[in-house]
Amino acid sequence: MPNHFLSAFILIPAIGFLLSLVIPKKNENAIAWTVFAAVLVNFVIAVFYDVLWIYQGSNVVDERDLLLYHSEHYEFFIDFHWDKISLVFFTVGTFLVLLVARYSQYYMHREPGYKRFFNTLLFFYLGYSVAVLSGNIETLFVGWEFLGVSSFLLIAFYRDRYLPIKNAVKVFSIYRVGDIGIILAMWLSHHLWNQNVTFAQLSDVSGVNSVLSEHSLIGVFIAMAVLVTAAAKSAQLPFTSWLPRAMEGPTPSSAIFYGSLSVHLGVFLLLRTFPIWQSQFSARILIGGVGFMTAIVASGIARVQSSIKAQIAYGSASQIGLMFIEIAMGWTDLVLFHFAGNAFLRTYQLLVSPSTVSYLIREQFFNFHPSAKSVESYFPKRLAATFYVLGMKEFFLDGALYRFFWHPFKIIGRKLNFLRGWKLAILLSGMLSLPLLHYSSAINLSHGVMHTLSSMFALLGVVMVLKSFTEREKVFEAWWLVIANHVVVAIAISLNENYSMSHNLIYLSGIAIGGLSGYALLSVLKSREGNINLDRFHGFVKYYPKMSMAFFFCCLALSGFPITPTFIGEDLIFGHIHEDQIGLAVLVSLSFILDGLSLIRIFARVFLGPSVRSVYESSYRSS
């Protein structure tokens, strides 16, 4: 095999993606063929590669590709990896994307947003490929972020209706919760291995065990972080209810994302990280337990769903629960087999879901038995009724997540409402004065005090972004608070450890670009449309599509999305949090998570949703 062969699998869709961006909207066929061709080329090469690889003895390939940052202590590089897990996930995924691209070429004909759909589909495929071919957590995280954003864009495909936007934000927020797990795992593994460790290194079981035996607590913590991420992405308890709600886009996108590929990435993550937690019995119990509960609860919910897509979604989630059990048992080959079967089955079921009307009505016409009953009719009455209501209310999963997770944040954010304007300025300058005095050598603070100060700044950062997240009216305030949050985080870390200022510069470079350009765009919008209130959706994308896209990129830059150096900066910054400072790490990652959420909320409220101008042009809220 030639060197850097695996990166070709990324390069091809990446080139296709860039090409698909520049083709004019009206040229449907060119758009569809570009996307189709990119995936087809990948598919053909993948099949050859699969065969050759197996023929040559199935040796794990680790390919170190792009060195993005290098210093004495630390390297940040892109790495690709090929083993049977990558083989199955990559080949199955490419095959399904290929079919769906072909399917959509005709299905999406004349749909406003045809180009957007194909752009996003290929972007998704790019992210998926990066993730399943990734050779270290950093690379995986890049793919992961791509998937999150393309997910948001495809759920919110019908961007002038209320429910798709609402659900897109909802799903994005759960993905974001998942990200916290990856960020923390990334941070901890840095400290365990003092570099960004590759999966190839991790597959050396004895090596991993020797490292982990010294830090058993960290090992457990990594396993937990990975489980949260996997559960969120694969719609396991307690996150399951997002999956049916994601079915807002065109049917083929729902099929490829939530029926097959995106939703199985949690399974992929567990398979990839298997060496880390395989010798931890407690982690295996936990993973199996989550899978088991989900399998039971989700199939219980699936049984009472009366809409076809919700039924398929819950049916699929329950199968993924079984896969979690299989992974926990260590049956990795079975999982791969199970994944492929489930992905194929659910894609097809979703794609033919509109046929259920003609098919089942005909079945009913000819085979109707008024007395036909399901097994539950043999349950005691009270038990049956209780389970029915629970199933119908989805075991309160949708409400609970809001109530116990987001709602507290909102309440705290609103409680902090008094903290604005000059009060905030006084607090900030007060807090800043201490370190300034320290650095100007006016006073000398001990390490302990500095660390406490650092945590206080991190907390302040969280407070700021919470306020941004819960801001109901002023869009500029919400925007500035996110920028301020990043600055405060940089200060917090600087206080924690002495390190080169260049790390902060790398970290803040993207923030500055994204933040200032976003501010400029909002100002232009305000000058044309008057005040923009965050209390409702405005739907400005209809009138300012280009500005909307630019603003979206600003949001991405500001949230540390891997399009600016900020992404590497975040990783660098994290490296300066010590492994015993879990509290600080959680606060900083919470900041990152909430930043992303607040930004996507601002974007959604300002540019998406029903038009603010006139209801005569938009659909009903409930539709």
Partner 1 sequence: MLHTKESINSFDLGKAIDALMHQLPAQAPLKDFIHHNTLHAFQDLPFQDGIRAASRRFGYRVLLPLKEYRMAYQSGRIHDDILSRVVCEQKGKDRKDFWLDQMVSRVFDVPEPPRIGLLRGLWKRNHKIDLDSLVHPILFRLLCNFMDQGISIWSFPVTNMPFLDAVRKLEADSAVSLFRTKLGREIFMNRDIGILELLEQLVSSEDKYAQYLFDQQFAHQGWSGMVATVQHQPNTLLDSRQITLEDVIFLELALEIDALEYALGNEWKPLSDYALMSVPDLFEEVPVSELEEVLFLWHLAYEWSYYDTVLGGIHTPNPELRGRRNHSFQAIFCIDDRECSLRRYLENEDPNCYTYGTPGFFGVEFYYQPIYGKFRTKLCPAPVNPKFLIREVSTDTIRKRDFHLGKEAHSFLGGWLVSQTLGFWSALKLAINVFNPRFQPGAASSFQHMSKQSALEIERVSDERESDLLVGFSCEEMANRVESTLRSIGLVDDFAPIVYIVGHGASSTNNPHYAAYDCGACSGRAGSVNARVFCEMANKQEVRGLLHEKGIRIPESTQFVAALHDTTCDEIEFFDEATLSQHNTQMHKEHVLLFQNALAKNARERSRRFINVDSNLNVHELHKQIKMRSITLFEPRPELNHATNAACVVGRRDLTSHLFLDRRAFMNSFDYRVDPKGDYLFPILRAVAPVCGGINLEYFFSRVDNQKMGAGSKLPHNVMGLFPVANGIDGDLRPGLPSQMIEVHEPVRLLVVVEHFEEVILEVIQRDAATYEWFKNEWVILAAAHPETRAISIFHSGRFTAYSPAYSPPEVKDIDTYILQHTDAIPVLKIA
User: Site residues for partner 1, window 348-407 (CB under 8 A)?
Assistant: 348-349, 351-368, 370, 374, 376-377, 381-382, 384-386, 388-393, 398
Instruction: Decide: is 44 part of the binding site for partner 1 (CB under 8 A).
Output: no
Instruction: Decide: is 295 part of the binding site for partner 1 (CB under 8 A).
Output: yes
- Pick from 185, 192, 228, 322: which binds partner 1 (CB under 8 A)? 322
Task: Supply φ then ψ for residue 346, to 5 degrees.
Answer: -70, -35
Instruction: Decide: is 109 part of the binding site for partner 1 (CB under 8 A).
Output: yes
Residue 620 per-residue DSSP state = -
- Pick from 86, 229, 318, 470: which binds partner 1 (CB under 8 A)? 318
CB of 52 to partner 1, least distance (A): 22
Indicate the residue among 22 and 375 with the shorter CB distance to partner 1: 375
Q: Which stretch binds partner 1 (CB under 8 A): 207-215, 247-255, 421-429, 497-505?
A: 247-255
- Pick from 23, 169, 247, 511: which binds partner 1 (CB under 8 A)? 247
Give 574's Cβ-side CA count (13 Å radius): 31
CA distances from 455 to 289, 425, 442 (A): 35, 19, 22
Instruction: Decide: is 411 part of the binding site for partner 1 (CB under 8 A).
Output: no
Q: CA–CA separation, 397 vs 480, rounded Å?
A: 34
Instruction: Decide: is 163 part of the binding site for partner 1 (CB under 8 A).
Output: yes
Q: Is the dihedral of CA 542, 547, 551, 557 positive or negative?
A: positive
Residue for token pair 């990559």: 90
Indicate the residue among 354 and 545 with the shorter CB distance to partner 1: 354
Instruction: Decide: is 518 part of the binding site for partner 1 (CB under 8 A).
Output: no
Letters for 166-205 (x = contact with partner 1 by CB under 8 A, - = none) are -x--------------------------------------
CB of 263 to partner 1, least distance (A): 13
Cβ neighbours, 10 Å, residue 314: 27
Instruction: Decide: is 119 part of the binding site for partner 1 (CB under 8 A).
Output: no
Instruction: Decide: is 417 part of the binding site for partner 1 (CB under 8 A).
Output: no
- Pick from 20, 134, 311, 581: which binds partner 1 (CB under 8 A)? 311
- Which helix (H) or strand (E) segment holds residue 485: the answer is helix 475-496
Indicate the residue among 302 and 450 with the shorter CB distance to partner 1: 302
Q: CA–CA separation, 239 vs 220, rounded Å?
A: 21
Indicate the residue among 114 and 128 with the shorter CB distance to partner 1: 114
3-state DSSP call for residue 134?
A: strand
Q: Are 595 and 522 in contact (CB under 8 A)?
A: no
Q: Which stretch binds partner 1 (CB under 8 A): 17-25, 100-108, 481-489, 548-556?
A: 100-108
Indicate the residue among 86 and 253 with the shorter CB distance to partner 1: 253
Nearest in space to 131 (alpha carbons), one of 245, 4, 9, 312 = 9
Give 466's Cβ-side CA count (13 Å radius): 22
Instruction: Decide: is 410 part of the binding site for partner 1 (CB under 8 A).
Output: no
Torsion of CA 517, 520, 525, 528, to 10 degrees: -150
Q: Are 140 and 272 in contact (CB under 8 A)?
A: yes
CB of 412 to partner 1, least distance (A): 18
Indicate the residue among 98 and 462 with the shorter CB distance to partner 1: 98
Site for partner 1 in 597-616 (CB under 8 A): 613-616
- Pick from 189, 198, 305, 559: which binds partner 1 (CB under 8 A)? 305
Q: Are 195 and 201 in contact (CB under 8 A)?
A: no
Q: CA–CA separation, 189 vs 587, rounded Å?
A: 18
Q: Crossing angle for the helix pair 114-133 and 6-22, nearest 10 degrees?
A: 170
Q: Are 28 and 9 in contact (CB under 8 A)?
A: no
- Pick from 197, 225, 235, 304: which binds partner 1 (CB under 8 A)? 304
CB of 601 to partner 1, least distance (A): 16
CB of 230 to partner 1, least distance (A): 19
Instruction: Decide: is 620 part of the binding site for partner 1 (CB under 8 A).
Output: yes
Instruction: Decide: is 545 part of the binding site for partner 1 (CB under 8 A).
Output: no
CB of 102 to partner 1, least distance (A): 5
Indicate the residue among 304 and 511 with the shorter CB distance to partner 1: 304
Site for partner 1 in 225-244 (CB under 8 A): 244
Q: Is the peptide bond before 238 cis (omega within 30 degrees of 0)?
A: yes
CB of 383 to partner 1, least distance (A): 8
**Total residues binding partner 1 (CB under 8 A):** 108
Indicate the residue among 96 and 188 with the shorter CB distance to partner 1: 96
Residue 73 per-residue DSSP state = S
CB of 523 to partner 1, least distance (A): 24
CA distances from 519 to 106, 292, 528 (A): 40, 48, 14
The secondary structure of 392-403 as a DSSP string is HTGGGHHHHHII
Q: Are 300 and 387 in contact (CB under 8 A)?
A: yes
The secondary structure of 502-540 as a DSSP string is HHHHHHHHHHHHHHHHHHHHHHHHHHHH---BTTS---G
